[in-house]
A and B are shown apart, each in its own frame.
Chain A
C-alpha cells in the first residue's frame, strides 16, 4: 500500500485526459482547421469566459456562470433528495401492506419507463417555467426507480435481522427505524448514484426549455446565438460538474453509508 500505487489510477487518468486536451488544442489552433468551428479548443472557449467576466448572456440578462452552476446543482440535488426520501417512505408503506403493494406496484412499473423528459410539457403546463418544473422533472426521473429498488431491498433483508431485533424487544416501529432503514440505505443510495446521470440529463433538458439560468440554458443560448464557443463551454462545465458530483456521491456512499448487508 505505497502512496504511489494509491495515486497511480489518478495520475494515469489525469495524464491521459491532459494529453487528449492538448491534442485537441493543437489540432484546433492550426489555422484552416474545420474542427475549430465545431469543436473550438479550450483556449478559445475559455477566453470567452474571461472576456465576459464570468457572466454569460446578453446585456442585462447576463447571469454569472457560478449562479448557473449553483442553480443546476440545487435543482438536481433538490429533486434527488425529495425523490430519495419519498421513495424510501413509499417503499416502507408498501412493504407494510400487501394490499397496497398489489394496488400500486403495477402503477410503478408503468410509470418507471416513461422518460423524465416526456413529463416536461405536462410539468410546464402545471408549474409554468420555474424551478419547480426542473425539480419535478428530476424527481420523476429517479423516484419510480428508487421506489422499486426500495421494495427489492426490503425483500432482500435477511429474515434473521428482523427476528433478532424483535427477539431483543424491538417493536415494529423501532424495527423499521433501527433495522429496515439501515439495511436498505446502502442499496438504495447506490442506485441513487447510478441514476444521478439520468437526473443530471433531466435537469439539463428542463433548463433548455426556457429557464433563464442553469447549465442547460447556457447550451440553449449558444445554440440560439450560433456561438459554438458558448456551447463548448457549457458542455465542458456540465461534464466537469457532473463528474465532481458523482465523486461526491461516491464519497458519501463510502464514508457515510459504507456497510454492506
Chain B
C-alpha cells in the first residue's frame, strides 16, 4: 500500500484550503451532581479546512469527543462563542455534517443494506440514482456480498465499514469520526486507514477524526492536532501531507510520532 505513494509525483500545489469550521471561543460545560460543572472545553479556538482530513489526538478524557460533537452541532456550547460552520453558528445537527459515534452505530434490526440506506430517502437525487449510489457505496467499502447480513453477524471491521458507508452515502459535506477503529486489531486498522484514504480520494469529503493512536492520526490525516490539558488546549498542530507521512517507516514519520508521543505522555 505504501510503496507506490513514495514514488508518486509531488501532491498538487498546496493551495491553502478554505476554512469550513471556525471554532470561536467555544466553551462547553456539563453540569455535575452537587451543582458544580465540568468544563472540558473553555475559550477554545481552531480552524478546520475544507476538503482535508484533520486528526485530533489527545489523552482520554481531554475533551476530544466533546469537541467533535460541537463540530457536528450535537453539543452547543455557551453563547459567548461557538462553532462557525460556513459562516454561521451551529445550533443543531445538520444533515450536512454526519458523525460516526464510538459505539451503538448500526441499528441491530436492519440489514447492512438497510443500515447503509437509512438516510438515503433524505438525500438528493432520483430514487433510482440513490439506489445506484447505495449499491456503489456497498461495493466501495467491500460489503456488497454481506449486504443482506445483520449487524450481529458482522465482524468489528465490517460494522465500522457499514457505519462509514451509511454516513457517506448521503453525500455529506463533513464526516466526523470518533475513534472509529479503536476496537479493531492492527491489521484490520491499517486496512481501514487505506480504505478511508481511498474514500477521501474519491469524494474529497472534509473529515475530522478523533483517535488515540498516533500512527493512525499521521497516516490518515493531512493535519494532526494534538490536544491536552484541562481545559483542552492545542499542544501541537502539524501538517502531515506528503508522501513521508504515508509510510510509517519513514524517518520523518517516526520522528513526528516520537514528538507527539512525548507530548501526550
| Chain A interface residues toward B at CB < 8 A | 158, 160-161, 163-170, 178-179, 182-183, 259-261
Tell me if B185 counts as interface (CB < 8 A to partner A).
no
| Assembly CA distance A158 to B106 (angstroms) | 11
In the complex, which residues of chain B have a beta carbon less than 8 angstroms from the beta carbon of A182? 107, 109
Q: Is B232 positioned at the interface, with any CB of A under 8 Å from its CB?
A: no
B99 touching A168 by the CB < 8 A rule?
A: no
- The residues of A that contact B170 with a CB separation of less than 8 Å are 168-169
A168-B95 in contact (CB<8A) = yes
Contact of A169 among B103, B105, B122 (CB under 8 A): B122
Residues of chain B from 70 to 128 with CB closer than 8 A to chain A in the complex: 72, 74, 93, 95, 97-99, 101, 103-105, 107-109, 118-119, 121-123
Question: A182 to B107, alpha carbons, bound, how many Å?
Answer: 9
Centre residue among B103, B105, B108, B152 by max chain A CB count within 10 A: B108
User: Quick check: is B200 within 8 A (CB to CB) of the other chain?
Assistant: no
Pair A168/B109 contact, Cβ less than 8 Å: no
- B73's nearest neighbour on chain A, judged by CB, is A167
Residue B166, interface by CB 8 Å: yes
Most buried by A among B72, B122, B123: B122
Besides the known contacts A169-B95, A169-B121, 4 further A-B residue pairs in the complex with CB atoms under 8 A apart:
A160-B103, A160-B105, A168-B118, A168-B170
- Is the beta-carbon distance between B104 and A161 smaller than 8 angstroms? yes
A260 to B107, CA, bound (A): 10
Q: How far is the CA of A179 from the CA of B106 in the complex (A)?
A: 11
Query: Which interface residue of A165, A259, A260, A261 has the most chain B CB atoms within 10 A?
Result: A259
Q: Is the pair B105, A168 in contact by a Cβ cutoff of 8 Å?
A: no
Chain B residue at minimal CB-CB distance from A169: B122
Pairwise interchain contact B72-A167, C-beta atoms closer than 8 A: yes
Chain A neighbourhood of B150, CB < 8 A = 259
Interface centre among A158, A164, A165, A169 (most CB of B within 10 A): A164
26 A/B residue pairs, CB under 8 Å, sorted by A: A160-B101, A160-B103, A160-B105, A163-B74, A163-B93, A163-B101, A164-B101, A165-B118, A167-B72, A167-B74, A167-B93, A167-B95, A167-B97, A167-B98, A168-B98, A168-B118, A168-B170, A169-B119, A170-B118, A170-B119, A179-B107, A182-B109, A183-B109, A259-B152, A260-B108, A261-B108
